[in-house]
Amino acid sequence: MNKPFDYGERVLLLDSKQRRYLLVLKDGGEFHSHNGFVPHADIVGNHEGLIARSTRGSSYTVLRPTLEDFVVQMPRGAQVIYPKDLAPICMLADIGPGVRVFESGVGSGALSMTMLRWGAEIVGYEIREDFLNRATSNVRSFLGEDAVSRYHVQLRDAYEGIDETDLDRVVLDLPEPWNVIRHAEKALRLGGIFVAYTPSITQAAKVRETLAESRAWNGARTLEVLHRGWHIEGQAVRPDHRMVAHTAFLTTARFLGVHEHAPMAEPLPEVDDLEDLTPQDDVTLDDLERPTLGE
Ligand code: SAH
């Protein structure tokens, strides 16, 4: 799809220092910088990779923005989930064309846009109307009407219940995701997947505890994604000095339904017994390392 740029399209301008500017091409529009301006008319009719020059001689490479370019710069109300976690969430939730997802809250729509991009059909509950409108307009403006037709957002509190049934996935980014687990058990089909994004490990542990209590879930796990950039320039090849050291934990599990004969989660060994347990085969390191909550 290498058609020429046209009015109404969103483009990305990169300057010589790799600074990024997003703009929508308008009839009569101008992109202004400290070094003069680029008339939008100079971009229209050209192809990606164009080097546009400003009136005072700065050069800008012009490309169509990727979803990654857009989500980090789009208008936002709520804090968005960053690309580092967006793609892993889609993998954990096994998002694909036609997959029916319940998402809450929708916030600014960064995660919604990623799942829509991967083909999902989303029902979203969000308690703030301004965020819900913002998310919808972000989806419309970057992904277009086809994506909006697969995006069904409602002004609703997810803690109070989920109306939909037979859903394939429940994906949560809200402060108390454990409050939604009982509702997820009614809304998910058997074999469905639950994913919760939580900034704090105590939230993740509470999600795990709630999942473990119900016996309806299998394979619960919690992970974080570390993303370290590298500086590569001649012989200077080393990790970047700075990195985003923490965003959130991802907790996922599969829904099996409540079975009479489901194995109970094994009780954790008492701390005093740990030494005695070491040589036994039936206690793995995983058991010992499972986080437990206060009481
Ligand atoms: N994942 C989003 C950001 C979500 S921020 C993104 O990538 O853009 C968390 C959102 O949850 C906020 O918008 C907040 O208003 C919403 N929220 C908080 N509690 C909620 C509840 N009980 N039901 C529905 N939405 C809720």
Query: What is the per-residue pLDDT across 131-151, written as a single tens digit (0 to 9) for each?
Result: 999 999 999 999 999 999 999
- pLDDT, residue 292, reads 45
111 lines ligand 1 (CB under 6 A): yes
Same domain assignment for residues 118 and 31? no
Range with lowest mean pLDDT among 84-88, 105-109, 244-248, 290-294: 290-294
81 lines ligand 1 (CB under 6 A): yes
What CA–CA distance (Å, rounded) separates 125 from 274? 45
Whether 251 contacts 220, CB under 8 Å: yes
**What is the CATH number for 129?**
3.40.50.150
Same domain assignment for residues 106 and 216? yes
Same domain assignment for residues 129 and 225? yes
Same domain assignment for residues 41 and 187? no
Same domain assignment for residues 21 and 159? no
Residue 277 lies in a domain: no
pLDDT higher than 80, residue 261: no
Whether 87 contacts 114, CB under 8 Å: yes
Residue 5 lies in a domain: no
Residue 145 lies in a domain: yes
Q: Are strands 30-33 and 36-39 parallel, antiparallel or unpaired?
A: antiparallel
Same domain assignment for residues 117 and 204? yes
107 lines ligand 1 (CB under 6 A): yes
Same domain assignment for residues 26 and 79? no
Write the pLDDT tens digit of every residue in 23-73.
999 999 999 998 999 999 999 999 999 999 999 999 999 999 999 999 999
**In sequence order, what are the residues at sequence separation of 6 or more whose Cβ sits closer than 8 angstroms to the Cβ of residue 223?**
249, 250
Residue 104 lies in a domain: yes
User: Ligand 1 centroid vs 243 CA: distance in angstroms?
Assistant: 26
- pLDDT, residue 291, reads 45
Average pLDDT, the chain: 91
Domain housing 109: 69-255
Whether 62 contacts 50, CB under 8 Å: yes
Same domain assignment for residues 242 and 198? yes
What CA–CA distance (Å, rounded) separates 128 from 121? 21
- pLDDT, residue 211, reads 97
Residue 282 lies in a domain: no
Residue 179 CA: which ligand 1 atom is closest? 22
153 lines ligand 1 (CB under 6 A): no
pLDDT higher than 90, residue 103: yes
**pLDDT-derived band at 76, boundaries 50, 70, 90:** confident
* The one-letter amino acid at 80: V
13 lines ligand 1 (CB under 6 A): no
- pLDDT, residue 75, reads 85
132 lines ligand 1 (CB under 6 A): no
**What is the CATH number for 16?**
3.10.330.20
The total number of structural domains that make up the chain: 2
**Average pLDDT value for residue range 167-178:** 98
User: Of 25, 43, 65, which closes a domain?
Assistant: 65
Same domain assignment for residues 128 and 245? yes
Same domain assignment for residues 173 and 197? yes
109 lines ligand 1 (CB under 6 A): yes
- Three-state SS for 74-88 is CCCCCCCCCHHHHHH
Question: Hey, which of 126, 133, 156, 162 would you mutate to test ligand 1's pocket, going by the most ligand atoms within 8 Å of its Cβ?
Answer: 126
Phi, psi (rounded to 5 degrees) for 23:
-150, 160
Write the pLDDT tens digit of every residue in 269-295.
555 555 554 545 555 545 545 444 443
Residue 124 lies in a domain: yes
**pLDDT-derived band at 112, boundaries 50, 70, 90:** very high
127 lines ligand 1 (CB under 6 A): yes
**Average pLDDT value for residue range 116-129:** 98
- Three-state SS for 180-239 is HHHHHHHHEEEEEEEEEEECCHHHHHHHHHHHHHHCCEEEEEEECCCCCCEEEECCEEEE
- pLDDT, residue 78, reads 86
218 CB neighbour count, 10 Å cutoff: 13
Residue 229 lies in a domain: yes
80 lines ligand 1 (CB under 6 A): yes
User: Ligand 1 centroid vs 69 CA: distance in angstroms?
Assistant: 22
pLDDT > 70: percent of the chain = 87
Closest to 65 in 3D by CA, of 112, 28, 23: 23
Same domain assignment for residues 38 and 77? no
65 lines ligand 1 (CB under 6 A): no
User: Count of H helices and E strands in the chain?
Assistant: 9, 15
Residue 136 lies in a domain: yes
User: Of 30, 47, 65, which closes a domain?
Assistant: 65
Predicted model pTM: 0.87
Phi, psi (rounded to 5 degrees) for 214:
-90, -15
Q: Whose Cα sits closest to atom 17 in ligand 1?
A: 105
Same domain assignment for residues 218 and 83? yes
**Average pLDDT value for residue range 215-225:** 96
Token pair 């609703």 in the structure block, residue = 156
